[in-house]
Structure 1
Amino acid sequence: ININFIDVLREETGPDGDIMHANGLSYDSNKDLIYLSVNYFSEVWVIDHSTTAEEATVDSGGNYGKGGDLVYRFGNPSAYNNESGERLFYNNHFPNILKDGLPGAGNILVYANGNGDTKQSVVYEFRLPTELNLNPNENNEPETVWQYTRDNLYSARVSGAIRLDNGNTLITSGSMGVIEVTNEKEVVWEFEGTGFYWRSYHYNLDSSAISFLNSDMP
């Protein structure tokens, strides 16, 4: 990790002490990996959760044998001087590993804010490589298996997306509201407001987390 990396998006304002601006993480219990969204690098970093504190200070040890080095990273190859990869993000939020039982289990959703020239946000679903390697002078970016955008879908900050049990995707656009879309990209439900929307989550009607809403307790 080059802590002196300054993305093209920050060249005008310059460094302000907020070096990385990490804004969300997801834990993959099957692979014992942490996925960390690093907004000012326009990347997602993959960290070996199995390493000890001692192993994290060197480049060996842990389940993946890389110690404190990143196991994988994607979104902006220029952040590690890889000219062969295609840039995916101009700022990003909420890496979300799809858990077992969900459609696309094992894939990851990422909200790409799109603060480059286009000012267009995109929700991506990526299939991660079987072997998480960072090979020099090769395209190491994951495969895009699904994506969603539309006219005027843009939020410069926050935002995210989750996969529902029915296969639909619930998208939070921080400056607009919430959209539920099918895998065929049909909008089935939408809320638009004038507030500021960090992130949305879904609870099934039979979830114990909301059981008290139907309780007779005073």
Structure 2
Amino acid sequence: MNVLFDNWDIYWEGFIGTIELTAVAAALALVAGVLVAACRVSPVAPLRVFGALWVTILRNTPLTLLFFAVVLGLPRFGIVLPFFAFAALALGCYTSAFICEAVRSGVNTVPAGQGEAARSLGMTFGQTLQLIVMPQAFRSVVPPIGSTLIALAKNSAIAGSFSVVELLGTYRTLNEMGYSIVWTFVWIAAGYLVVTLSISAAFRLIERRWEVAR
């Protein structure tokens, strides 16, 4: 217990760092994931190819390798950002591939007749997607998106190896101070549990709010 109360400021800084990184990366992943999903179901062939390549490359690339590509590769092209921004970019892009597939699967659950009816009324593809398809697909994609964002919160632990202040990285400081590594990791695990359970609870509320009335 002493390792937590004696070093509360260290744990708190890491905990807040994890929350901030998760929130920024989640926002990026949601926006990018929905846009790429729209590309994947678009009637425009180049957009479908772009969406397929985005998902295939990012979903099949190890996250650690993606971190190295972003942190070490982008500065070679003159793109220099804080490590936090690099970490959020890597996490967000990686997670967007999974968000995209979740959204696309939800879109596929909407009967094709809905889109055909919208087009017969003169709606464009964008209007059909925004006003007809997505609202119906949203109900079915809430649980998988919640699970994906929980995975994102846990994946944020990799950022600590790239000079980003986050919860897992606190173990190095505390280990150097001579504290028991076992209790150090117990409290780190407890912090991640708080984050993931909070995300899970939030998505359960959203799911109940948007569930189909019986």
Same fold (TM over 0.5): no
Relative to its length, the structure with more strand (as a share) is 1
TM-score tier (shorter):
under 0.3
TM-score (norm 2): 0.24
Bigger RCO (CA 8 Å, 6+ sep): 2
TM-score w.r.t. the length of structure 1 is 0.24
